[in-house]
Amino acid sequence: MEFGFSAAEQTFAEDVRRFLRDNPLDRFPLDGMDAGYGSGAHSRAFMRALAERGWISMCWPEAYGGGARPMFFKLVLFEELALAGAPFGPLAGSWQTADAIIEYGSERLRREVLPAVARGEATFWQGYSEPDAGSDLLALKTEARRDGDHYVIRGHKIWSSHAGIATHGLVFTRTSREARRSRGFSMFVVPNETPGMDIRPIRSLTGGVYHYEVFLDDVRVPAELRLGPEGEGFQALLNGLDSDRFWGRFYKAPALERVLRRLVDHANTTGAGRDAVLRRRLAAMAAEIAALRLLFLRAACLLRDGAPITYETAVAKVYADETGQKLARLGMDLLGPWAPLRAGSREARLDGEISHAYLTSLGHTIAGGTAEVLRTTVAVRGLGLPAEPRTA
């Protein structure tokens, strides 16, 4: 057993901390809202700054311009950025998409998209959900019809994060009708400026825009933009969702730790920390956040070692989201009458961060697999309990 980072990983953590000291976060303009997952707001400028240091592509193979560093460097970068509250919103999606392109992308995707990712310019939205295909994703209706060396995509995607400010969509489509439910799907990497796409913002209960819906009206894309073999998009998607649960939540624990530190400071300032109940709740949160971090690090070791993962990322994702909701709730209780004040309001405490976290956290147990779907995954895939019969 070994629960510390290696010397090389610690040196890299130092590098990241130095970068953060030398580049105060208020220098980076924000382009899109922070959805509370722990990766901060969407900032193209910050992504470019990471790219300048080679950190976006640092773990790719050298053949693709990467630095061939071990996977754990990404975890170190995530932890340091999240502890600092940096705006690296699109980073996890960029990494996942690049990994998929490296694994089964066409030459064209590798040639055109990877360098743009490495420069911090290409960022991605997920075109998975549809109005009638949420938890039952395979009920999707968006179709991609083959037409010579092109496909023509027609359909309606929704809940796509930052679709309006990203550069490409990962559009999950049906390419054929097959007897087996999981066959006949294909994924495409579609540039946002492709004709026929209509990307419309959805204002959320926070008052800001994070999600979009996307209407695809006979969008013609070259066949080379298909990610993986035709009809086998489902497996790619499953891998993607598994990795989404991990990469899209790994930074939650350090991000919650940062919020907890702010709450502790606040409790000390106001004297609320002397209240026995609040004191225990804050202390219990510290233990829960530490446990959360370890659940993710355990999953990280399995991913690194290529060991089978059945339930570990699903458990970690649910726990991340529920722990985040709990901390936000505790923060609201701690702030009392000041809790609902927004960022920018007179008298707002902690920069209005807590009320925003409270609202955004409501969506976390829904996005990327609901807590219910994931608990079923843990039970069926992890524990071997019998799956409920499907009725349709």
Partner 1 sequence: MDFRPSPAQQLLVSTARDFLRKHCPPELVQRVALDARGVDDALWRRMAELGWQGLLVPAAFGGSDGSLLDVILLTEEIGRAVAPGPFVPSAVVATAALLAAGTADQKKRLLPAMAAGERIVGVALASAGNSCELDARGRLNGRALFVEAAHVADALVVVARAGGDTALLLVPTDRRGIARWPLETIGPEKLFEVAFDGVAIGADDRLDPAAARREALAAGALARTAEMVGAAQRVLELAVEHAKTRVQGGRPIGGHQAIQHACADLVRDVDASRGLLYAAAWKASEGAPAAAEVAMAKAYASEACLTVARRAHQIFGAIGYCEEHPLHLLHKRIHAASLDCGDAALHLEDVAQAIGLA
Tell me whether residue 297 or residue 362 sits nearer to partner 1 (CB atom).
297
In the chain, what is the straight-line distance between the N-terminal and C-terminal CA atoms, in Å? 47
CB 282 within 8 A of CB 326: no
Closest CB to partner 1 among residues 202, 264: 264
Instruction: Give the residue with the Cβ less far from partner 1, 179 or 387.
Output: 387
Parallel, antiparallel, or unpaired: how do β-strands 168-174 and 197-203 relate?
unpaired
User: Residue 256 CB, nearest distance to partner 1 (Å)?
Assistant: 12
Phi, psi of 177 (to 5 degrees): -95, 120
User: For residue 352, is it left (φ>0), alpha (ψ between -120 and 50) or beta?
Assistant: left
For 208, what's the count of Cα atoms within 13 Å in the CB-facing half-sphere?
A: 18
The encoded tokens of residue 271 equal: 């004297």
Q: Cα separation of 194 and 318, whole Å?
A: 36
| Nearest distance from C-beta of residue 155 to partner 1, angstroms | 30
CB closer to partner 1 out of 312 and 353:
312
User: Minimal distance in Å, beta carbon 246 to partner 1?
Assistant: 15
Question: C-beta of 380: minimal distance to partner 1 in Å?
Answer: 7
Contact between residue 153 and residue 144 where contact means Cβ atoms under 8 Å apart:
yes
- Return the bridge partners of 172, or none: 187
Nearer to partner 1, 170 or 314 (CB): 314
What lies within 8 Å, CB to CB, of 86 at 6+ separation is 20, 25, 40, 46
The answer to whether the CB of 215 falls within 8 A of the CB of 200 is yes
Rounded to an integer, what distance in angstroms lies between the CA atom of residue 207 and that of residue 213?
A: 17
Minimum separation from the CB atom of position 305 to partner 1 (A): 9
Q: Which residue's CB is nearer to partner 1, number 340 or number 382?
A: 382
Residue for token digits 């590798």?
110
Both structure tokens of 89:
């919103």
Nearest distance from C-beta of residue 1 to partner 1, angstroms: 5
Report the nearest approach of partner 1 to the CB of residue 150 (Å). 43
Residues 6 or more apart whose CB falls under 8 angstroms from that of 32 comprise 41, 42, 89, 162, 165, 209, 210
Measured from the CB atom, is 63 or 387 closer to partner 1? 387
| Minimum distance, C-beta of residue 276 to partner 1, in the bound complex (Å) | 9
Return d(Cα 7, Cα 13) in angstroms, integer. 10
Q: Which is nearer to partner 1, 273 or 340 (CB)?
A: 273
Strands 150-161 and 124-127, by their bridges, are: unpaired
Helix 72-84 × helix 276-305 angle, to 10°:
160
What is the nearest approach in angstroms of partner 1 to the Cβ of residue 91?
Answer: 21
Q: Which one, 167 or 377, has the nearer CB to partner 1?
A: 377
CA distance linking residue 225 with residue 101, whole number of Å: 10
Q: Which residues bind partner 1 (CB under 8 A)?
A: 1-6, 72, 260-261, 264-265, 267-268, 273-274, 279-280, 282-284, 286-288, 290-292, 294-295, 297-298, 300-301, 311-312, 315, 318-319, 372, 374-376, 378-380, 382-388
Closest distance of CB 35 from partner 1, Å: 24
Nearer to partner 1, 68 or 290 (CB): 290
3-state secondary structure of 152: strand
- Distance of alpha carbon 16 from alpha carbon 77, whole angstroms: 7
